[in-house]
Amino acid sequence: MTGLLVALPGIIAQLLSGAALLAGVLTLATTRKPALALSVFLDLLTAAGLLRLVGDPSWQSITTAAVIVGLRHLIGFGLRIGARTWTGSAPGPGRAGPRSGVVVDRLLRPAWRR
């Protein structure tokens, strides 16, 4: 019984990883928005990574969860910057581009805190 309780979070995390891939593909197929599909995929992968930390976490599972969270933040930042440059026009001779402090601030502060 104890062996099952120790192995259960790992099994659920693997199932959640598969569900993340399926949900990302379905989101992309229904909405045709790659940024949204990638966001759904990375959010569920983050949940699976955190679920692996249940019980007796190893350094490998801690590192995996940290890498997934870091990638999620970097990819989200890249998508926000890319969407802004794709929809917005380039700075003309009279307009200045974004300051480096603003870019760093946007990288470090999540979108829901703005």
Kindly report, residue by residue over 25-43, the tens digit of the pLDDT: 999 999 998 888 988 998 9
pLDDT higher than threshold 80 for residue 44:
yes
pLDDT value at residue 55: 73
DSSP secondary structure string, 2-28? Answer: HHHHHHHHHHHHHHHHHHHHHHHHHHH
Q: Full-prediction pTM beyond 0.75?
A: no
* pLDDT recorded at residue 33: 87
Q: What is the pLDDT of residues 8-29, one digit of tens each?
A: 888 898 999 999 999 999 999 9
Banded model confidence at residue 87, pLDDT cuts 50, 70, 90: low
Contact call for residues 68 and 49 (beta carbons, < 8 A) = yes
